[in-house]
Amino acid sequence: MPLASRLRFEHQLAALVGLLCLVLVGTTAGGAIWIERRAAIRLVEANMAQLAATMASILDGALRERFREVQTLAGLEPMRPLWHAAPATVRTVLDALHVSQPDYAWIGFVGPDGTVRSATQRLLEGASVAGRPWFAAGLRGPALGDVHEAVLLAGLLGRGGEAEPFRLVDLAAPVRDADGAVTGVLGAHLSWAWAETVRRRLLAQEAPGDGTEIWILDRTGRVVLGRDLGSVPFPPAEVAAMAARDRGALAAGTLGEPPGEPMLAGFAVAGASASRRGEGASLGWIVVARRPAALALAPVGAAVRGLSALAAAVAAAGIALAWLIGRRAAAPLRQMTLAADRIGRDPSATMLPRLGGAREFVALSAALRSLLRRLGVAERELSAAEARSTLSTAAYRREIEALRLAVGTDSLTGLLNRRGFTAPAEEAFAQVRSARRGVAVLVADIDHFKRVNDVHGHAAGDAVIRSVGNLLAETLRATDTVARFGGEEFVVLLRGLGAEEAAAVAGRLCAAVRAAATLDGPHRIAVTISIGVAVAGPEDADIQAVIARADAALYAAKARGRDGISVAAHAAIERAA
């Protein structure tokens, strides 16, 4: 064979192995870089969530401490005869509290008619606060008001000329006599500058000079501390989702940052856990901490550059090695190729030569020689195999049919799964198209199911899912279809029902689950469900559109407090709106 042909073959083999080396090294390096970047992003997001949680904990702890101080002072038995003493006597007590806690902007005792009888620095003494919300709430019991701007006190305290408005948090508690009758209200205004001080101190300790910011939102999502004061950076649905999760990371791009400046952020809800445990009032502030991604991921850049340099060096070494392999592999492979080409052309060529050299080529020639000997045996066995395959075909078909049936059934509950639900659902939707009967879809979800797994274990969670699935199937009509779509979610198909009837069925299902319980050993596990309802109409493109509307209604039911139903508007009404 000419030398040029041999060289071209070697070059091709070397190029192929070299390309494979480049792909492997590039893929490995790229994957490592991606993993490193993702790990860094998750770490920063976790740090931001922890920073937000620390800020939320400090704010909530301090606020509850001030709230307890006001309640304790209002309920002290030795103070009962002093409240109606001379204003100067009461003022002495209030001034002492003010000195010990300078975060209070104003503390005052108000009579039941709304007239301020005693106050720190004599501010508002003799004035009427009967129309203030905190006073009306304080007559009824301990009250905690959200952040608001203080116009009157800002002028009296000389805070009216500041760049940002002077804001307060209202605290109030009723003062009662020995018989329990309300004789006045102890009110206090906590300066919101206290929260700014906490924020600056925390940033100086935890994230000095790295561009980290902390925002505080009230329960409606309005910014009460931080950049863009008074703005609402999140839609109501996302605010509700954050309040439900307590803490976590925020997806990039949700904070309205300028283009080219992505942020990594986390959030935490102040007092969420304490409120659920009944340990005191909470304003439900949402603390958001964020850091520029460019600064947070700067350490990853150095690692990426080093890894890229290493990958380039490995790729170059691989290409050189591929060239050497190509040169050494060409000669024995060519010899084997020529010998194999003669078989079938030359009657005298019936066997391949034995190759020498590397152990792999010796083993290859031995294997190919053995292969030629086995070809004759394989040809004889082929006819017998074809006969056996004919007999096996029928058995395979029966097994395939059994598998098709199993694919449509949920293994945990025995109900239909998403695949098995599709056929009856599409058939019912086709009847809607022909205007022969109505069809409604219910999407049900077990409330707080993660808590069941966390407290009782996953085996108990499976038992709860089976129990709820059986209860749904027993409560529904024989003409209805129920399926488990995955996790703790069930989908019900109701035939021949409109919106009112479907809502009534959903209400009965909620009541049935609420009244039932699952026994797990000595434990009795009670759960509730939330249900979204949607009725198919001629405007729906397919049954999936109806399921999607019911799923959206389910989230609305969850947002309203769970253990209830929500009916989705008709598709045509939604487009008109």
333 and 422 belong to one structural domain: no
Of 365, 347, 343, 367, the residue nearest 356 (C-alpha): 365
**Which letter does DSSP use for residue 358 in this model?**
S
Q: Looking at 315, 342, 369, which one is the last position of a domain? A: 342
Establish if 479 belongs to a structural domain. Answer: yes
- pLDDT (tens digit, 9 = 90+) per residue, 326-351? 666 666 666 667 777 677 666 666 66
548 and 445 belong to one structural domain: yes
Long-range contacts at 179-185 (CB < 8 A, ≥ 24 apart) = 182/112, 182/139, 183/83, 183/84, 183/111, 183/112, 184/83, 184/109, 184/110, 184/111, 184/112, 184/117, 185/109, 185/110, 185/112, 185/135, 185/138, 185/139
Measured CA angle at 163 (ends 64, 65), to 5 deg: 10
Domain that holds residue 332: 3-40+300-342
466 and 570 belong to one structural domain: yes
The span from the CA of 223 to the CA of 112, in Å, is 35
> Domain containing 563 — which CATH number?
3.30.70.270
Asked which of 15-19, 177-181, 225-229 is least confident by mean pLDDT, the reply is: 15-19
The pLDDT of 163-170, averaged and rounded, is: 77
The pLDDT score that the predictor gives to residue 312 is 74
Q: Looking at 309, 342, 375, which one is the last position of a domain? A: 342
pLDDT at 403 over 60: no
Establish if 318 belongs to a structural domain. Answer: yes
The pLDDT of 141-150, averaged and rounded, is: 84
The pLDDT of 190-205, averaged and rounded, is: 84
324 and 463 belong to one structural domain: no
Q: Per-residue DSSP letters for 303-351? A: HHHHHHHHHHHHHHHHHHHHHHHHHHHHHHHHHHHHHHHHTTTSTT--S
CB 510 within 8 A of CB 529: yes
Of 187, 169, 190, 168, the residue nearest 111 (C-alpha): 187
Q: What percent of the chain has pLDDT over 90?
A: 21
328 and 436 belong to one structural domain: no
**Confidence band for 443, pLDDT divided at 50, 70 and 90:** very high
Establish if 519 belongs to a structural domain. Answer: yes
**Confidence band for 398, pLDDT divided at 50, 70 and 90:** low
Domain count, the chain: 2
**Confidence band for 324, pLDDT divided at 50, 70 and 90:** confident
The pLDDT score that the predictor gives to residue 575 is 42
The pLDDT of 411-424, averaged and rounded, is: 89
569 and 423 belong to one structural domain: yes
570 and 430 belong to one structural domain: yes
The pLDDT score that the predictor gives to residue 99 is 86
**What is the number of alpha carbons within 13 Å of residue 246 lying toward its C-beta?**
10
456 and 334 belong to one structural domain: no
- pLDDT (tens digit, 9 = 90+) per residue, 74-109? 888 888 888 888 888 889 888 888 888 888 888 999
459 and 565 belong to one structural domain: yes
Dihedral angle over CA of 364, 369, 373, 378, nearest 10: 30
571 and 479 belong to one structural domain: yes
Establish if 402 belongs to a structural domain. Answer: no
The pLDDT score that the predictor gives to residue 446 is 95
The pLDDT score that the predictor gives to residue 224 is 84
pLDDT at 577 over 50: no
**Which letter does DSSP use for residue 479 in this model?**
T
515 and 424 belong to one structural domain: yes
The pLDDT of 190-214, averaged and rounded, is: 82
- pLDDT (tens digit, 9 = 90+) per residue, 525-555? 899 999 999 998 778 888 899 999 999 999 9
Residue 488 falls in the annotated catalytic set: yes
CB 144 within 8 A of CB 62: no
The pLDDT score that the predictor gives to residue 151 is 67
Establish if 251 belongs to a structural domain. Answer: no
Cβ neighbors of 219 (< 8 A, separation 6 or more) are 146, 239, 243, 283, 284, 285, 286
More confident residue, 26 or 304: 26
Q: Pinpoint the alpha helices (H) of 476-517.
A: 499-515
427 and 530 belong to one structural domain: yes
- Based on the number of CB atoms within 10 Å of its own CB, is 52 exposed (0-12), middle (13-18) or buried (19 or more)? buried
Q: What percent of the chain has pLDDT over 70?
A: 74
Establish if 284 belongs to a structural domain. Answer: no
The pLDDT score that the predictor gives to residue 66 is 87
- pLDDT (tens digit, 9 = 90+) per residue, 218-262? 888 888 887 778 788 888 888 888 888 888 888 655 555 555 567
Marked catalytic residue, from 488, 489, 539, 574:
488
What are residue 266's phi and psi, to 5 degrees? -140, 165
Establish if 474 belongs to a structural domain. Answer: yes
Structure tokens at 370: 């053995």
CB 537 within 8 A of CB 571: yes
Establish if 532 belongs to a structural domain. Answer: yes
Structure tokens at 79: 């103070």
